[in-house]
């Protein structure tokens, strides 16, 4: 290493000055939280709902599997035999008491996976700050969906647009029973207010990525498959080219989306400035 390189090495910290100045011109990464909220993931785990069938019957059969699987021990269920003249659920028994303590719940979604009747699922709502312990324990009356099939919106909850949509058992079903042979075939029951939902992204080959933002399971798993399970046209060099093409397209889309976002941001900022000027 020559003396020039040595000096350069010693003075390399000066690059920090340039970098910090550059950052002055970059867009800010902070979001002004209560006013400006990040879009939620399509399968975000939020507060639970208790679903009902299309005819209004409750899906819960009081089997207590959810309470059994819960690692935080926050669910309390008591089942009771259905009254023969006025049944609550189509089965033999129904959930007579159903309580979730949100001071304990960790939103792991194990209860949703354990449920045999898709009775308990999670909405995308996470902004519910109660001010006393009694409010923290949600009872069945608060968890069960209303007559339109929508979750009840309690006064201390901050529901956003779309939080209550796509929350049912339909949501968790990717390939029903994990068997590729059933891909795209409806294996979930209808629900109050929505009927039987059609399969979408990740649930069928005719998927819609924009709607759910998810990937097809087969694409995700392909690198892990045995060679003979991979389609011929995706093997070897050809396959590599194909994958590179796909990722390039995806990146291009991402870049375009980002570019458009910046354009919008700039336009709105310019508009704001113009407005300010006009008002001043």
Partner 1 sequence: MSGAMLAQLHSMVALTTHGDPLYDNGVGWFVWVVDIIKVLVAFVALLVSVMLMIWFERKLISDMQSRIGPNRAGPWGLLQTLADGTKLFFKEDLLPERADRSVFKLAPYLSLVPALLIFTVVPVGGIITVSGHTFELQVADPPIGILMVLAMSSIAVYGVMLAGWSSGSKYPLLGSVRASAQMISYEAALGITVVTVVLITGSLSTRAIVESQSTNFWDWNLIRLGIVPFFLFLIAITAELTRPPFDLTEAESELVGGFHTEYSSIRFAMFFLAEFMNVITMSAIVVTLFFGGPDGPVPHIPSFSIWFPVVWFLIKVFIFLFIYVWFRAALPRLRYDQLMTLGWKYLIPVSLGWLLAVAGFIVDGWWGLGIAVAAVVLGTVLVRAFGVGQFRETQREPDLVTPRIGPRVVRTPPGPVGEDG
Cβ closer to partner 1: 10 or 227? 10
CB of 74 to partner 1, least distance (A): 35
Name residues contacting partner 1, limited to 12-71 (CB under 8 A): 13, 16-17, 19-21, 23-24, 26-30, 32
Q: Which CB sits closer to partner 1, 17 or 83?
A: 17
Kindly compute the dihedral angle of the four CA atoms of residues 213, 219, 224, 227, in this order, to the nearest 10 degrees. 180
Structural tokens at position 209:
């990525």
Identify the burial level of 194 via C-beta atoms within 10 angstroms of its C-beta, where 0-12 means exposed, 13-18 middle and 19 or more buried. Answer: middle
CA 240, 241, 247: angle at the middle one, nearest 5? 90
Q: Closest CB to partner 1 among 32 and 227?
A: 32
111-150 residues near partner 1, rule: CB under 8 A:
none
**Nearest-approach distance from CB 213 to partner 1, in angstroms:** 26
- Cβ burial, residue 203 (10 Å; 0-12/13-18/19+): buried
Question: How many CA atoms does the CB half-sphere of 265 hold within 13 Å?
Answer: 10
Least Å from the CB of residue 14 to partner 1: 8
Tokens of residue 20, six digits: 């910090």
Q: Shortest gap between Cβ of 3 and partner 1 (angstroms)?
A: 12
Complex with partner 1: residue 14 or 134, whichever CB lies closer: 14
- Least separation in angstroms between residue 158's CB and partner 1 is 19
Give the phi and the psi of residue 74 in degrees, each rounded to 5.
-110, -5
Give the DSSP per-residue string, 3-35.
HHHHHHHHTGGGHHHHHHHHHHHSPP----TTT
Size of the residue set binding partner 1 (CB under 8 A): 14
The CB-of-262 to partner 1 minimum distance in angstroms stands at 14
Q: Residue 162 and residue 42: Cα distance in Å, rounded?
A: 10
Q: Which stretch binds partner 1 (CB under 8 A): 9-17, 136-144, 146-154, 167-175?
A: 9-17
Q: How far apart are CA 90 and CA 108, in angstroms?
A: 28
198 vs 272, beta carbon nearer partner 1:
272
Q: Which is nearer to partner 1, 198 or 275 (CB)?
A: 275
Residues that bind partner 1 (CB under 8 A): 13, 16-17, 19-21, 23-24, 26-30, 32
């Amino acid at each position: 290493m020559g003396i020039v390189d040595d000096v350069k090495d010693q003075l390399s910290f000066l690059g920090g000055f340039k970098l910090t100045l550059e950052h002055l011109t970059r867009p800010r990464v902070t979001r002004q939280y209560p006013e400006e909220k990040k879009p939620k993931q399509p399968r975000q785990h939020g507060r639970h709902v208790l679903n009902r069938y299309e005819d209004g019957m409750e899906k819960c059969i009081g089997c207590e599997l959810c309470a059994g699987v819960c690692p935080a021990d926050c669910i309390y269920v008591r089942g009771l035999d259905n009254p023969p003249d006025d049944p609550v659920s189509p089965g033999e028994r129904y959930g007579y008491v159903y309580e979730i303590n949100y001071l304990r719940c960790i939103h792991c979604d194990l209860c949703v996976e354990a449920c045999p009747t898709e009775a308990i699922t999670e909405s995308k709502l996470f902004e519910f700050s109660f001010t006393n312990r009694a409010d923290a324990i949600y009872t069945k009356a608060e968890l069960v969906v209303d007559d339109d099939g929508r979750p009840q919106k309690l006064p201390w909850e901050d529901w956003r647009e779309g939080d209550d949509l796509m929350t049912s058992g339909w949501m968790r079903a990717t390939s029903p029973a994990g068997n590729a042979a059933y891909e795209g075939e409806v294996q979930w029951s209808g629900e109050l207010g929505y009927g039987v939902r059609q399969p979408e992204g990740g649930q069928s080959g005719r998927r819609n990525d924009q709607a759910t933002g998810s990937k097809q399971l087969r694409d995700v798993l392909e690198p892990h498959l045995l060679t003979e399970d991979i389609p011929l046209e995706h093997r070897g060099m050809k396959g590599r080219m194909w994958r590179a093409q796909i990722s390039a397209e995806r990146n291009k889309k991402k870049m375009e989306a980002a570019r458009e976002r910046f354009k919008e941001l700039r336009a709105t900022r310019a508009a704001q400035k113009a407005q300010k000027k006009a008002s001043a």
